[in-house]
Each structure stands twice: as C-alpha cells, then as structure tokens.
C-alpha cells in the first residue's frame, strides 16, 4: 500500500499541516523545537551583548548629555589611568585569592569527612547544603550581623570567652572587611564545591585503597598518593569556577558593606555598577563589564578544555 | 599500643571536625533566626542576654502585616514560579533534540550555550534596561520572568539534556511504535521517565530566580519589586529600624528555599552534579 492512498483527496489545510509536521525530517524537527529558545537567547542575550560592545566604544555620560559620541577604544584605554579602577584591582585580586583559598580548602576537607562513614552522616550532608540555597543578598545580611560592632555574634563569643575586653569594630578596616566578604562568599560556595568533589571521590575505585593499604600506606599516604592525584583535574576545575564566581561578586557586597569603609570593598564588578547606575557613565561601565567578560570567558575556555580532557581519559 | 590509641583518636577527630563544620555552616543562619525572635535589647547587651521566655514571633507578624513586604513576597513567588514553568517548557523542548536527534551544528549550539553561562550579568544589565524600557516592560513581572529565563535556560537545557541522555532510546521507539506522536513521546513518555531530573531542574530554576538580585534591582521600581531588593532597601535604612524586623524579613526571604532544600534534598544533589557535566 503506497502512502499516497493515506492522504484524503480533499485534505483540509489543517490536516496537511499536521501531515507535514509528522513527516518532517529529524533535523528540521530539531530546529523547530530549538527555535523558541534560540529566539529568546538572540533577543535577550546576543543582541544585548552586541549592544554593550557597541556602547563601550561610545562616550555616554548621561549626567552631561543624553547623546552618544563615538570615541573608539578610548573607554578601554581610559581605564588604565582611572584611579578608582586601578585601586579596585588589588582589592579584587585579594578578594578572589582569599575566597578561592578558603573555599577550596574547606570543600576538600568537608568532602573527605563526608566520604568517611560515621553516625549521622546523612543528616550532616543535608545540613551542609543549606548555604547553597541562601541568596547572596541575605548571606550579606547574615555575615553583617555576625561581625556587627553592636550585636555581632563574633564579638559576643570572643567577649564571653574573655579574649577581648571591648567589642571590635571589624568593618573599620578595608582588609578585614574584604576578608569577611571572602568568608561569606566561601560560605555560600563550599556546599556546591563539596558536592562535585565528593562525586569525584566516590568514582575512585575502592580496590586502589585496598591495594595501598596492603602495601602499608597510612591514611595520609593514601590521601597523598591515591585520592589527590584523582582529584587533580576536579581541583583545577573548582579553582577556575571559584575565580569566575569571585570576580563577579556584587549582591553580597551590596548588603554586607555597600563598598565601605570609604571605598575599601569596592571590587571591580561593584565599581562597574557604581559607574553605570550612580555616575551614569554607561560607555565606561560597558567597557569595564566587557573586559571582565572576556577575561572570564578565556578562563572558562581553559577550564572547559581540562574537563573535556578528563572525560576523554575516563 | 599505637594502633589502639589511633583507633580511639580517629572518630574523635572526625566528630570534632564535623561539629566545627556544622558551626560554620549553621551559625550565620541560626544567629539571624535568634535575632528575629528576640527583642533588640537582648542581643545589643554586652554580652547578649538571650531570654527563652521572651521568644516571640511578633516581628514576623509585624513584617507580614506590612503591605509592601507582602507584595514583595508575592512578587517573588509569582516571578520565580513563572520562570520555573517557562524554563521547564522551553528547556525540555530544546534539550530533546540536543540529546536525541541528528542535527547539523548541534555541538556548536551546545558550546555556545556553555559560553552563555559565563557572561557576567553586569554586561547585560545596561542593554537589558534600555531594551525593557523601549518595550515598556520596566517594573513588570514579564521583564523579570524573561530576563531570569534567559540566563537560566542555558543551565536548564544542559541539565535536562544530561537527564535525557540517561534514558534508553528503546523506550521512545516503543512509544512511537504504539502510535505516540513525536511531541507526545517527549511530554508523555520521556519527561515522566526523568521525573526526578525534572524536579531537580525545577528547583534549580525556582531558586535561581528567587535569589537573583541585580536584575531585580534595576528592572523593578515598585510594582514588581522582588523580596531580595526589598530586603536590601531595609538594610540600608536599618540605622533607624528595629533590627529584629530586618532579621525576620531575612528569615522570611530564605524560608521557601530552605524548605525546598530540606524536603527535596536528594533531587537537588543529583541535579547539581548533572548540571556541571559537560
């Protein structure tokens, strides 16, 4: 029986539409399903990116005039002589470095602990996930209350234990403030990093540990020679991931310190926000954002190539 | 001798570390919670004089009786829920061909969607503000739902694609053989069989939208202001307000996601691990 006999001689338009729909080849059907997503991403992602790139070559100072003026790469070269930008770079690097150090170390230790059997492990696994779900804005509020000079938990504990005679005003010092911001970022990041690390640890074959044990390796040696080599690529992945996250910190700073004391915690991304929405220098802010984006995409490219390598090895 | 002492030391060390980690994880959450049920005078005292008899939920009731806080909570709920629905629907439609069908330039799309995840929101915020202004969408739910869906979709697609990949092809073939249409096979056979994955993806999208701040700050002024923006405004004014009220709002703002984490923990763990597999 040929297929043409299935088509009624006078098919309605609708019927023809459905017939075509069902006979569409795979590729066309796939493109059809993808098209709403592609449409959304083009309008609200691709076009805004191109717009931002265009804007970064213009002088747009809304406090002076609503007009745009093409100035080429002057916004980018101007960043090199902008003192606020230059001051924010060491802060950003310190913040990123400290965040990566704390979060990676804590995640590694926590993953090692959670990989050991102990009573109550299930409930601990659930509890340590909690910070992941807390919004950065709220975690900023929480850590503000931990280090608050009048009702901070940290001061209260130190005072009660007799370490200090007077409450310390933590947020008076820019470095201390930045470190607290790092701690808060690490606090939120650790659960996720622990999960990925734990998944990697559980994929290490048990037989390797047994073999190492038989050869007389102690706990530390087993960690050094069995666990760590297997975690190498995931550690690199995690460090890059945390770099990307910490370079983009904004919400947390907004409620934790608002950039204070003075401009002590104004990191690069926060300065971009200030330039855009307080000074209304849209051209310059776009240039800063684009530079950060380029840097992050390059970093991601590196991390991705590591991940792909890892997959091919397995 | 040495063996025996080690056998005793190891669990002790382990439990001590567990206790330290629990303290580090829970202290900030517990402290804001304590502040939200105690009068300010108790924790301003040096050292704090916490009083069990003065525990009260009145700061919660006071916040909930304020129209703007109730509105902000409702806005966040509606926006997050709609974002979740949007992401699941379009995410499933997009993930299916990426997982199953033979298509030219499939890998190009997948690579581009990973790159899309890396674009900092600071790049997008100025153009999106101008775009939403021109579309007359500023301060509407639609603006935030579209924006959140746009930056969550690349994640959602990857998660769902990875879940689809785990389903044997034969299941779908059998459904088609029994006369199920192509779309029917996606929504009636494939999606239900990755139900845990769908739940994980849904939670991920909901929490992502609920916790977002920067876009909410710029794209809403009053009518669509989410709770996260509201709370940042409260904190800025907290020199004059009762801190128990700020703390209570903080607890309200994290309550929905905390409940999700405790109730649907299993799904979240699986989903997060799937989300980073490339």
**Right CATH for B65-275 from 1.20.1260.10, 1.10.3720.10, 3.40.1080.10, 2.30.40.10:** 1.10.3720.10
A201 touches chain B (CB under 8 A): no
- How close, in Å, is residue A9 to chain B by CA atoms? 23
Cβ neighbours of A209 (radius 10 Å): 14
From the list A37, A52, A126, the residue facing B94 with the nearest CB is A37
Query: What is the predicted pLDDT for the residue at A202?
Result: 86
Q: In whole angstroms, how large is the CA radius of gyration of chain A?
A: 27
Q: Residue B62, exposed/middle/buried by CB under 10 A (0-12, 13-18, 19+)?
A: middle
Please report the ipTM that was assigned to this predicted complex. Answer: 0.90
**A207 min Cα distance to partner chain B (Å):** 22
* Distance, CA of B87 to CA of B155 (rounded, Å): 10
Q: Do the Cβ atoms of A27 and B24 come within 8 Å?
A: no
Over residues A197-222, mean pLDDT = 85
Predicted local confidence at residue A313, as pLDDT: 45
Each residue's pLDDT tens digit, A52-90: 999 998 888 877 777 788 888 888 988 888 889 999 999
Determine the Cα–Cα distance for residues B112 and A176; give it in Å rounded to an integer.
39
B253 vs B76: CA distance, rounded Å: 9
**Rounded mean pLDDT of chain B?**
87
pLDDT score, position A10: 59
Q: Which residues of chain B have pLDDT under 50?
A: 1-2
Can you spell out the DSSP letters for B110-133?
Answer: HHHHHHHHHS-HHHHHHHHHHHHH
With beta carbons less than 8 A apart as the criterion, state whether A146 and A184 touch.
no
Which chain A positions have a beta carbon within 8 Å of B106's beta carbon?
Answer: 30
Contact indicator for A222, A111 with CB cutoff of 8 Å: no
Per DSSP, the three-state class of B23 is: helix
Instruction: Name the residue of chain B whose CA is nearest to A136's CA.
Output: B211
Radius of gyration of chain B (CA): 24
What are the domain boundaries of chain B?
2-54, 65-275
**Phi/psi zone of residue B182: left (φ > 0), alpha (ψ -120 to 50 degrees), beta?**
alpha
Residue A251 corresponds to which tokens in the numbers above?
Answer: 């919400």
Domains and CATH numbers, chain A: 3-46 (no CATH), 80-313 (1.10.3720.10)
B94 interaction partners in chain A (CB closer than 8 Å): 33-34, 36-37
Mind telling me how many Å the CA of A134 is from chain B's nearest CA?
A: 6
| Model confidence pLDDT, tens digit, residues B47-85 | 888 878 888 888 899 889 889 999 999 999 999 999 999
Q: Any CB–CB contact under 8 A between B13 and chain A?
A: no
Q: Among candidates B79, B60, B78, which has minimal Cα distance to B69?
A: B60
């Amino acid at each position: 029986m040929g297929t043409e006999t299935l088509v009624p001689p006078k098919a309605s338009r609708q019927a023809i539409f459905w017939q075509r729909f069902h006979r569409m080849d795979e590729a066309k059907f796939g493109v059809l399903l993808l098209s709403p997503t592609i449409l959304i991403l083009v309008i609200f992602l691709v076009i805004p990116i191109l717009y931002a790139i265009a804007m970064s070559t213009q002088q747009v100072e809304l406090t002076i005039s609503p007009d745009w003026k093409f100035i080429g790469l002057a916004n980018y070269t101007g960043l090199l002589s902008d003192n606020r930008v230059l001051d924010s770079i060491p802060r950003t690097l310190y913040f990123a470095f400290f965040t990566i150090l704390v979060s990676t170390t804590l995640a590694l230790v926590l993953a090692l602990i959670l990989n050991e059997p102990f009573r109550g492990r299930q409930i601990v696994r659930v509890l340590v996930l909690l910070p992941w779900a807390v919004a950065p804005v709220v975690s900023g509020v929480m850590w503000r209350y931990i280090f608050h000079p009048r009702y901070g938990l940290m001061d209260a504990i130190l005072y009660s234990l007799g370490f200090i005679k007077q409450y310390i005003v933590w947020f008076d010092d820019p470095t201390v403030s930045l470190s607290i911001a790092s701690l808060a970022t690490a606090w939120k990041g650790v659960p996720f990093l622990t999960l990925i690390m734990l998944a990697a640890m559980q994929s290490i074959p048990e037989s390797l540990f047994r073999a190492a044990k038989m050869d007389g390796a102690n706990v530390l040696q087993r960690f050094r020679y069995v666990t760590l080599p297997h975690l190498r690529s995931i550690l690199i992945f995690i460090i890059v991931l945390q770099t990307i996250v910490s370079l983009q910190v904004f919400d947390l700073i907004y409620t934790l310190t608002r950039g204070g004391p003075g401009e002590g915690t104004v990191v690069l991304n926060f300065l971009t926000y200030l330039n855009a929405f307080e000074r209304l220098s849209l051209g310059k802010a776009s240039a800063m954002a684009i530079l950060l984006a380029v840097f992050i995409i390059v970093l991601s490219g590196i991390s991705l190539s590591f991940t792909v390598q890892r997959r091919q090895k397995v | 001798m040495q063996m025996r002492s080690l056998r005793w030391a190891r669990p002790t060390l382990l439990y001590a570390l567990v206790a330290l980690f629990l303290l580090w994880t829970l202290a900030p959450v517990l402290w804001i919670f304590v502040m939200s049920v105690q009068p300010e005078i108790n924790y301003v005292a040096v050292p704090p004089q916490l009083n069990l008899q003065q525990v009260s939920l009145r700061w919660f009731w006071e916040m909930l009786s304020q129209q703007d806080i109730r509105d902000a909570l409702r806005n966040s709920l509606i926006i997050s829920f709609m974002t979740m629905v949007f992401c699941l629907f379009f995410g499933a439609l997009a993930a299916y061909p990426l997982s199953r069908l033979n298509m030219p330039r499939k890998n190009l799309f997948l690579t581009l969607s990973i790159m899309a995840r890396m674009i900092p929101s600071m790049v997008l915020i100025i153009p999106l503000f101008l775009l939403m202004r021109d579309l007359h969408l500023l301060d509407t739910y639609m603006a935030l739902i579209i924006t959140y869906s746009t930056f969550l979709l690349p994640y959602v697609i990857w998660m769902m694609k990875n879940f689809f990949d785990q389903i044997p092809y034969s299941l779908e073939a059998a459904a088609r053989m029994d006369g199920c249409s192509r779309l029917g096979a996606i929504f009636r056979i494939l999606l239900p069989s990755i139900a845990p994955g769908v739940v994980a993806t849904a939670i991920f999208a909901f929490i992502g939208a609920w916790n977002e701040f920067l876009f909410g700050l710029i794209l809403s002024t009053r009518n669509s202001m989410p709770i996260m923006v509201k709370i940042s405004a409260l904190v800025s004014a907290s020199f004059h307000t009762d801190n128990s009220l700020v703390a209570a709002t903080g607890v309200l703002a994290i309550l929905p996601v905390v409940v999700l984490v405790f109730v649907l923990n299993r799904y979240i763990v699986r989903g997060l691990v799937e989300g980073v597999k490339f």
